Amino acid sequence: FLANIREVDAIVHVVRCFEDDDIIHVSGSVDPVRDIEVINLELALSDLAQLERRVDRVRKLARADKEAQAELAILEKILPVLNEGKTARQVELDAEAEAMIKPLGLLTRKPIIYATNVSEDDLASGNAWVDQVRAVAAAEDAQVVVISAQVESELVDLNDEERKDFLESLGVEEGGLKTLIRATYELLGLRTYFTTGPKETRAWTIRAGMVAPQAAGVIHTDFERGFIRAETVAYDDLVAAGAMGTAKDKGQVRSEGKEYVVQEGDVMLFRFNV
């Protein structure tokens, strides 16, 4: 299980923040801080064992290798923090040091979102347990998102209008799952743009900061290689216009070149020649 987690880019830790006598907690009570500490301790112990093995190997190499000496200094900076029961996220490293330890896949170095699972009554404003989780998250530079698995299970069976009415009755505009997805995208530095045509509309995921040719290359390398320009319109403008032709008539469709940084929600038509 832990080996699989080492391969991920980020961790979402779902934490119970609701009381329900019909749903038994393995520890017999609701205590999100305790639950977080239990999981973090398990992850930290795994990281600690891995670092200790790595230190033993690197220390031998460091006698005659400057790069190994640099790595050893970084490892010895992280080790005492883990021994104190803290996470590797709480160690400040520069970009060079970060790149050096990245192959280790340290579990407690990965960015994390704490998803506080609350009752439907607490979805809008949270509760005291959520506040406790926020305090823990602040100490380790983590994010917190409030969700309700109870609400999400009910939303599945509702149509769009019913879903909107239900969420409004709870005092929120959207379910926690959408908030979680958006937070995860932001944490990982991801963006979404769209392509649309007579038969289908598709969403494409790219890294933040990608320019138009790079974004086109996500669809096909020929698009990037032969990129000429991208006809671009904001998603909200296109929806309001109702059709690409109408958006063009309103002057909302613009022609972007090779240096254009693709924005969240752009709808793009790539012109290319190979």
| CATH number, domain with residue 84 | 1.10.150.300
Q: Is residue 50 part of a domain?
A: yes
Please report, to the nearest 10 degrees, the dihedral formed by the alpha carbons of residues 17, 121, 19, 149 taken in order: -60
Under the phi-then-psi rule, with left for phi > 0, alpha for psi from -120 to 50, and beta for the rest, what region is 105?
left
- At residue 12, the pLDDT reads 96
Q: Is residue 240 part of a domain?
A: yes
Domain count, the chain: 3
Give the containing element (helix H, strand E) for 158. none
* Whether residues 90 and 51 fall in one domain: yes
Q: Is residue 67 part of a domain?
A: yes
Round to whole Å and give the CA distance between 192 and 204.
5
* Whether residues 116 and 104 fall in one domain: no
Q: Which of 155, 187, 219 is the last residue of a domain?
A: 187
Contacts of 259 (CB under 8 A, 6+ apart): 211, 212
Q: Is residue 179 part of a domain?
A: yes
* Whether residues 117 and 175 fall in one domain: yes
Q: Which of 94, 109, 124 is the last residue of a domain?
A: 109
Q: What is the CATH number of the domain that holds 182?
A: 3.40.50.300
Cα angle, residue 48 at apex, residues 108 and 84 outer, rounded to 5°: 80
Structure tokens at 175: 């379910």
Cα–Cα nearest to 37, from 117, 111, 167, 135: 135
pLDDT of the chain along its 274 residues, tens only?
788 888 899 999 999 999 998 898 888 899 999 999 999 999 999 999 999 999 999 998 888 888 999 999 999 999 999 998 888 998 999 999 999 999 999 999 999 999 999 999 999 999 999 999 999 999 888 999 999 999 999 999 999 999 999 999 999 999 899 999 999 999 999 999 999 988 889 999 999 999 999 999 999 999 999 999 999 999 999 999 999 999 999 999 999 999 999 999 999 999 999 8
Beta-ladder partners of 114: 13, 144
- At residue 24, the pLDDT reads 85
What does each C-alpha distance from 178 to 39, 174, 190 come to in angstroms?
25, 7, 15
Q: Which of 187, 205, 220 is the last residue of a domain?
A: 187
Evaluated on CA atoms 78, 79, 81, 85, the torsion sign reads: positive
pTM confidence score? 0.81
* Whether residues 157 and 218 fall in one domain: no
- At residue 85, the pLDDT reads 82
CB 110 within 8 A of CB 8: yes
- At residue 199, the pLDDT reads 87
Q: Is residue 89 part of a domain?
A: yes
What are the percentages of helix, strand and coil residues in the chain, rounded to 5? 50, 20, 30
* Whether residues 200 and 220 fall in one domain: yes
- At residue 25, the pLDDT reads 87
* Whether residues 176 and 198 fall in one domain: no
- At residue 99, the pLDDT reads 92
Q: What is the CATH number of the domain that holds 197?
A: 3.10.20.30
* Whether residues 181 and 242 fall in one domain: no
* Whether residues 104 and 140 fall in one domain: no
* Whether residues 168 and 208 fall in one domain: no
CB 261 within 8 A of CB 210: yes
Structural domain of 253: 190-272
